[in-house]
């Protein structure tokens, strides 16, 4: 029985990773169409991706919007998470449930409503505004990570700082933020990823001016499945991998700190 279970789990793990691995391999294919396994390897699809002005612009917009969304969501989320963990607030769970709503409400509805308003205000294609909209969707991710982090920060250290005459601002800047730094960086990374991968809101809000990578992939997929998309996908997968790797080392850092008694 144990052997069947182990076999099943192994098979499922292979199945889970297979699509991602195969797309990355296809991105390096030398053939003009999608052929697996590839007969020759080349970087031509990456060259086409980075050599194309529109794809490059899409990469740039994705990065900029991701940075804006990540900054807003992490800052706002940090204060909210701090209040939820430290303050004696009634109905904490209810407040949290409201803050998590953006991931529960179907994104199509959110996106259309945002578009409806943005069109009236002339904000379609405005990078800063798209960043704000993405920040709303990234906020739940930030909150969940920071709630866990701040719960692990010893409240006595904050009391000590306050009793030694530290101001609120200093308390945040010199005590809370440094202690929670690994978690804050993690939260920022995942907030960036949430925006970087977001498709539906971008689909409605970017217009033709500020198309992001997922939007360009979406538009290309409706026309044909060409290997350039495999290369773009490989880049997106690479960035996801990088974020996960950074997060893993941040976790180790966090564990080392709590182990050392801070």
Please, which of residues 36-65 interact with another protein by CB under 8 A? Answer: 36
Q: How far is the CB of 48 from another protein (least distance, A)?
A: 16
- Size of site (CB under 8 A) for another protein: 86
List Cα–Cα distances, 198 to 2, 136, 168, 201, 211, in angstroms: 40, 12, 36, 7, 12
Nearer to another protein, 70 or 141 (CB): 141
Contact between 20 and another protein by CB under 8 A: the answer reads: yes
Contact (Cβ atoms closer than 8 angstroms) between residue 113 and residue 200 = no
Smallest CA-to-CA distance from 189 within 246, 128, 253 is with 246
Contact between 97 and another protein by CB under 8 A: the answer reads: yes
Long-range contacts of range 255-259, CB-CB < 8 Å, 24 or more positions apart? 257/182, 258/152
Contact between 155 and another protein by CB under 8 A: the answer reads: no
Residues 216-245 that bind another protein (CB under 8 A): 217-218, 221, 225, 229-230, 233, 236-237, 240-241, 243-244
Q: Which stretch binds another protein (CB under 8 A): 44-52, 140-148, 158-166, 173-181?
A: 140-148
Nearer to another protein, 112 or 181 (CB): 112
Q: With 0-12 CB in 10 A as exposed, 13-18 as middle and 19+ as buried, what is 205?
A: buried
Contact (Cβ atoms closer than 8 angstroms) between residue 149 and residue 180 = yes
Contact between 171 and another protein by CB under 8 A: the answer reads: no
The pattern of x and - marking residues 188 through 207 that bind another protein according to CB under 8 A reads --x--x--xx-xx-------
Among 68, 124, 135, 153, indicate the residue that binds another protein (CB under 8 A): 135
Nearer to another protein, 185 or 230 (CB): 230
Q: How far is the CB of 243 from another protein (least distance, A)?
A: 7
Residues 62-81 that bind another protein (CB under 8 A): 72, 75-77, 79-80
Nearer to another protein, 44 or 195 (CB): 195
Q: How far is the CB of 261 from another protein (least distance, A)?
A: 25
Q: Which stretch binds another protein (CB under 8 A): 32-40, 49-57, 158-166, 250-258?
A: 32-40
CB count within 10 Å of CB 48 equals 15
Backbone phi and psi for residue 41, each to the nearest 5 degrees, phi listed first:
-105, 145
Among 93, 163, 208, 261, indicate the residue that binds another protein (CB under 8 A): 93
Please state, in angstroms and rounded to a whole number, the distance separating the CA atoms of residues 233 and 56: 14
Q: Which helix (H) or strand (E) holds 54?
A: helix 53-86
Nearer to another protein, 206 or 261 (CB): 206
The number of angstroms, rounded, from the C-alpha of 49 to the middle of its chain's C-alpha atoms is: 22
Contact between 114 and another protein by CB under 8 A: the answer reads: yes
Please state, in angstroms and rounded to a whole number, the distance separating the CA atoms of residues 206 and 213: 11
Q: Which residues contact 51 (CB under 8 A, 6 or more apart)?
A: none
């Amino acid at each position: 029985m144990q052997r069947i279970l182990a076999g099943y789990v192994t098979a499922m793990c292979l199945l889970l990773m297979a699509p991602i691995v195969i797309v990355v391999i296809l991105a390096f294919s030398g053939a003009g169409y999608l052929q697996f396994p590839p007969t020759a390897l080349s970087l031509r699809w990456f060259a086409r991706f980075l050599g194309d002005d529109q794809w490059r612009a899409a990469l740039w917009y994705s990065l900029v919007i991701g940075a804006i969304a990540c900054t807003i969501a992490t800052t706002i989320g940090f204060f909210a998470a701090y209040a939820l963990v430290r303050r004696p607030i009634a109905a904490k769970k209810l407040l949290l449930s409201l803050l998590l709503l953006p991931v529960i409400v179907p994104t199509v509805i959110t996106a259309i409503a945002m578009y409806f308003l943005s069109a009236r205000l002339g904000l379609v294609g405005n990078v800063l505004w798209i960043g704000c909209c993405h920040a709303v969707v990234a906020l739940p991710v930030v909150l969940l990570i920071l709630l866990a982090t701040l719960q692990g920060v010893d409240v006595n250290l904050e009391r000590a700082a306050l009793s030694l005459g530290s101001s609120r601002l200093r308390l945040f800047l010199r005590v809370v933020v440094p202690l929670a730094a690994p978690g804050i960086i993690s939260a920022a990374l995942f907030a960036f990823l949430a925006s970087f991968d977001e498709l539906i809101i971008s689909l409605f809000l970017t217009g033709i001016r500020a198309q992001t990578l997922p939007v360009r992939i979406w538009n290309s997929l409706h026309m044909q499945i060409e290997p350039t998309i495999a290369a773009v996908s490989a880049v997106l997968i690479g960035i996801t991998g990088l974020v996960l790797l950074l997060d893993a080392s941040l976790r180790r850092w966090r564990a080392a700190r709590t182990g050392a008694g801070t």
